[in-house]
Amino acid sequence: MMRSGIDDHLFAVIMAGGSGTRFWPRSRENRPKQLLNITGSAEGGLLKKTIELIKPIIPVSRIKTVTTLSQADAVRRTVPEISDESIICEPLGKNTAPAIGISTLFVERDDPDAIMVVLPSDHCIEDKKKFHQRIMAGAYQASQGDFLVTIGIPPRGPETGYGYIEADALIDENNMIYAVKSFHEKPDINTARRFINQGNFFWNSGIFIARASTMLREIAEHLPHNYRWLMKIRSSLGKDEEPGVIREAYKEMEAISIDYGVIEKSENVLMVAGDFGWSDVGSWPSAAQYWPMDSDNNAFIGELISLDSSQCIVYSPKKPVALVGVEDLIIVEEDDALLVCKRGRSQDVRKLVEILRSQGRDKIL
Amino acid sequence: MMRSGIDDHLFAVIMAGGSGTRFWPRSRENRPKQLLNITGSAEGGLLKKTIELIKPIIPVSRIKTVTTLSQADAVRRTVPEISDESIICEPLGKNTAPAIGISTLFVERDDPDAIMVVLPSDHCIEDKKKFHQRIMAGAYQASQGDFLVTIGIPPRGPETGYGYIEADALIDENNMIYAVKSFHEKPDINTARRFINQGNFFWNSGIFIARASTMLREIAEHLPHNYRWLMKIRSSLGKDEEPGVIREAYKEMEAISIDYGVIEKSENVLMVAGDFGWSDVGSWPSAAQYWPMDSDNNAFIGELISLDSSQCIVYSPKKPVALVGVEDLIIVEEDDALLVCKRGRSQDVRKLVEILRSQGRDKIL
């Protein structure tokens, strides 16, 4: 699967900031989603799973994790195989463009010819071998020019929770590489249906590949204000002033996503079709896909006793849960809080967390 | 409210056996319903509340509590004002006829002219003053002849969970005392509706009043087998063989309710209308009537955070519960188990407990 010339320059940047409020009460500010084993996987938490996923093609020494200062300790404890130098700490979260910008500086310092594979940490991949093939194909493509190579997922339905990539011509049939016509923000349901019917729309996985130098050039073009601050950080790297400059830059840089701020505006985007069984783990129902299930389609972590109950999602590793005559519920049992949520309302758990925050209930946030 | 001549002979017998499986996981075999404060009352658990209820007309020294051996310690701890001699221990539960039979023996030993007020321990009474008036009127009536005086509750609807008393002529309008035509087991809904339309049907409260001597005579007539064993116990009282005879009697006596075994068959039954605001506390919804309620009709003990949720019953004294988009649920949080049950299915919690028992899950029973 290795292609001569590029594999020594491959780096991974795993985005492990964010708190995953939709997984409350399991996720907390100091116990973010990406460190939790919410899929019940033998490999451990989501971040650890992502490291295991990418390790066969990129050695651990070239895997960087970007997170916020407040979560760095928890990251260190959870994935001790990642060295301290490979953990990039943002003073605060400012969406993905600054995170990827600063990560690019550290990657470029290690290897000016680096090719970066940028990965969120909340995905699950079924066919790992094919994933590796597609990533390597994308990396090869990225190495051949100034391309941002995105990964688009063949859609399984008119999902409204994802952005969409509209593919253009297939330029490499073997490796399923497409030109890209345009990007589309999360659509409403009718638009999503139209996308699906058109057939050339893919879910935006958030995974993309680029040379570090390409990445910086694209940031310079589309986010020049952020770029200037990144250059100040670059000049400070390894010097006494580095932490202070980073802190100042994070006060100043625009909080914007890499998709909206850079990729969607770039002229040099390609897409690899990610036909490797991708699922995001964005809310309880998506995590529960990986859990054991009883004969009434109740997915559970822990012990479940069910009487005339179906289609429930029950996360309660510490105590048995008994259901009588209920359906379509999400039940999450934690030491200091309990959530009972209608299935279909799992996105609103985020709203609930906002309510708790506005009430100053910091102890359970 | 006292009537000369009878108040010195008044005894109360509170039935505090049974486990209240419909209150699982709050109730357990060694933590039965009647010792729990499931109504959130300042007076404490249900048994304690019943003692407080009857105390103004019967002194504590004449209040006896009948329970099973396995629950006796818990009863002692919960109501320390009841002396050891006033706690009557059955070796095992055999429904109410044996419990009342043996209690009658202890009452009769203390006072051959005793008049017994027999009370379940899982009721709530709103108008305590009127309750006392009706009980005293019933006791007076019981003292005037060989009557079993039952308390019938003016029905608030076609409940199928109660037995019904069909009243005959009103024989004392001041005290609302009726002759009784017949008793009816728990009806189906159509029968219950017919009862309500007829107007002379009352809910059987399980409270009744009789002289001890009358009680024994009625048992002799309708449950002669049990009566013979009760007489053996009576002869053994205070002697070394008492515990052994009681154990043997409890192996032999028929397990049957006092209603079905005696009262419904008796020719000498009267009824006092219990117009004092009676509710039984037989399942979570009946207990929740006494709880605080939010503006969406969610009744709760503990801390509740509700988003678009209504008509729920939440018992979680130890940890906050968050609801998102759910309705008509019963949620009961315990240290070692969690119940989520559809409202309207609360009777089936008993079924759930049977399933747990059949699975040998004794730790949470």
Tokens of A156: 């399984």
* One-character DSSP codes across A276-315: S-EEE--SHHHHHTTS-B-TTS-EEEEEEEEES-BS-EEE
How far apart are the C-alpha atoms of A155 and A192, rounded to whole Å? 10
What pLDDT does A21 receive? 84
How far apart are the C-alpha atoms of A359 and A354, rounded to whole Å? 9
CB B271 within 8 A of CB B153: no
**Which residue in the set B329, B336, B349 is minimally distant from A326, CB to CB?**
B329
Residues 6+ apart with CB under 8 A from B201: B155, B164, B165, B166, B167, B184, B195
Residues 6+ apart with CB under 8 A from B70: B29, B30
Tokens of A240: 């006494």
B165 touches chain A (CB under 8 A): no
Residues of chain B with CATH 3.90.550.10: 7-280
CA distances from B212 to B113, B142, B218 (A): 7, 10, 10
B364 touches chain A (CB under 8 A): yes
What is the third-level CATH fold of B7-280? Spore Coat Polysaccharide Biosynthesis Protein SpsA; Chain A (3.90.550)
CB contact under 8 A, B331 and A338: yes
How far apart are the C-alpha atoms of B215 and A343, rounded to whole Å? 57
How far apart are the C-alpha atoms of B26 and A166, rounded to whole Å? 56
B319 touches chain A (CB under 8 A): yes
CB contact under 8 A, A331 and B340: yes
| A-to-B residue pairs, Cβ atoms closer than 8 angstroms | 119
How far apart are the C-alpha atoms of A319 and A338, rounded to whole Å? 12
Which phi and psi angles does B62 have, rounded to 5°? -115, 20
A320 touches chain B (CB under 8 A): yes
Neighbours of B3 (CB within 10 A): 12
Cα three-residue angle B282-B285-B290, rounded to 5 degrees: 95
Chain B positions touching A313 (Cβ under 8 A) are none
CB contact under 8 A, A319 and B325: no
**Which residue in the set B305, B307, B341 is minimally distant from A324, CB to CB?**
B341
What pLDDT does B4 receive? 54
How far apart are the C-alpha atoms of B242 and B236, rounded to whole Å? 5
CB B325 within 8 A of CB A341: yes
Q: Cα(first)–Cα(last) distance of chain B, in Å? A: 44
**Which residue, among A340, A343, A337, A336, has the nearest Cα to A323 in the 3D structure?**
A340
Query: If you search the block for the tokens 């730790």, which residue do you land on?
Result: B363
Statement: residue B1 has pLDDT above 50: no
Which phi and psi angles does A123 have, rounded to 5°? -120, 160
CA of A341: which chain B residue's CA is closest? B324
A294 touches chain B (CB under 8 A): no
Low-confidence ranges of chain A (pLDDT < 70): 1-4
**A143 three-class SS:** helix
A304 touches chain B (CB under 8 A): no
Q: Taking a contact as any Cβ pair under 8 Å apart, which residues of chain A between 13 and 32 contact chain B?
A: 24-25
The length of chain A in residues reads 365
CA of A323: which chain B residue's CA is closest? B340
Question: Residue A322's Cα: distance from chain center in Å?
Answer: 34
Tokens of A79: 């994935």
Residues 6+ apart with CB under 8 A from A168: A178, A179, A180, A181, A200
Min Cα distance A144 → chain B (Å) is 50
CA distances from A185 to A32, A191, A203, A207, A265 (A): 25, 11, 10, 16, 13
Min Cα distance A284 → chain B (Å) is 13
Q: Which amino acid is at B222?
A: H
How far apart are the C-alpha atoms of B310 and B328, rounded to whole Å? 7
A357 touches chain B (CB under 8 A): no
A322 touches chain B (CB under 8 A): yes
CB A196 within 8 A of CB A184: no
CB A100 within 8 A of CB A215: yes
What pLDDT does A4 receive? 54
Chain A positions touching B338 (Cβ under 8 A) are 316, 319-322, 331, 333, 338
**Strand B299-307 to B313-324 pairing:** parallel
Whether complex ipTM tops 0.85: no
CB contact under 8 A, A326 and B344: no
Q: For B93-123, what is each residue's pLDDT tens digit?
A: 999 999 999 999 999 999 999 999 999 998 8
Chain A positions touching B337 (Cβ under 8 A) are 319-322
Average pLDDT, chain B: 93
CB contact under 8 A, B323 and A329: no
Quote the pTM value.
0.83
Min Cα distance B318 → chain A (Å) is 8
CA of A344: which chain B residue's CA is closest? B325
Chain A positions touching B325 (Cβ under 8 A) are 341-342, 344-345, 348
CB contact under 8 A, B324 and A331: no
CA of A349: which chain B residue's CA is closest? B324
How far apart are the C-alpha atoms of A169 and A27, rounded to whole Å? 42
Is the bond into A25 cis (omega within 30 degrees of 0)? yes
A302 touches chain B (CB under 8 A): no
CB contact under 8 A, A338 and B320: yes
CB B143 within 8 A of CB B12: no
CA of B346: which chain A residue's CA is closest? A324
**Which residue in the set B24, B320, B335 is minimally distant from A337, CB to CB?**
B320
Chain B positions touching A329 (Cβ under 8 A) are 326, 329, 340
B325 touches chain A (CB under 8 A): yes
What pLDDT does A1 receive? 43
**Which residue in the set B307, B308, B352 is minimally distant from A324, CB to CB?**
B352
**Which residue, among B309, B360, B98, has the nearest Cα to A355 in the 3D structure?**
B309
CA of A333: which chain B residue's CA is closest? B338
Q: What is the DSSP letter of B45?
A: S
CA of A331: which chain B residue's CA is closest? B340
Neighbours of B318 (CB within 10 A): 12
* One-character DSSP codes across A235-248: HHTTSTTHHHHHHH
Neighbours of B343 (CB within 10 A): 17
Query: Could you tell me the pLDDT band of residue B2, with boundaries at 50, 70 and 90?
Result: very low
> How many Cα atoms are found within 13 Å in the side-chain-facing hemisphere of A164?
27
A261-292: buried (b, 16+ CB within 10 Å) or exposed (e) per residue?
bbbbebebbbbbbbebebbbbbbbebbbeebe
Helix segments in chain B, DSSP class H: 46-54, 69-78, 96-110, 128-143, 189-198, 212-222, 224-236, 242-252, 258-261, 284-288, 349-358
**Strand A201-211 to A115-120 pairing:** antiparallel
CB A81 within 8 A of CB A28: no
Q: For B240-280, what is each residue's pLDDT tens digit?
A: 999 999 999 999 999 999 999 999 999 999 999 999 999 88
Q: For B302-356, what is each residue's pLDDT tens digit?
A: 999 999 999 999 999 999 999 999 999 999 999 999 999 999 898 889 899 999 9
**Strand B123-125 to B278-280 pairing:** antiparallel
**B115 three-class SS:** strand
**Strand A115-120 to A10-15 pairing:** parallel
Min Cα distance A120 → chain B (Å) is 28
What pLDDT does A2 receive? 46
**Which residue in the set A307, A308, A338 is minimally distant from B333, CB to CB?**
A338
Statement: residue B207 has pLDDT above 60: yes
How far apart are the C-alpha atoms of A359 and B116, rounded to whole Å? 55
10 Å CB burial of residue A336 (0-12, 13-18, 19+) is exposed
CB A87 within 8 A of CB A65: yes
Min Cα distance A323 → chain B (Å) is 5
**Which residue in the set A322, A334, A364 is minimally distant from B339, CB to CB?**
A322
**Strand A329-333 to A338-342 pairing:** antiparallel
Residues B63-67, mean pLDDT to the nearest whole number: 96
Chain B positions touching A322 (Cβ under 8 A) are 24-25, 337-341, 352, 356
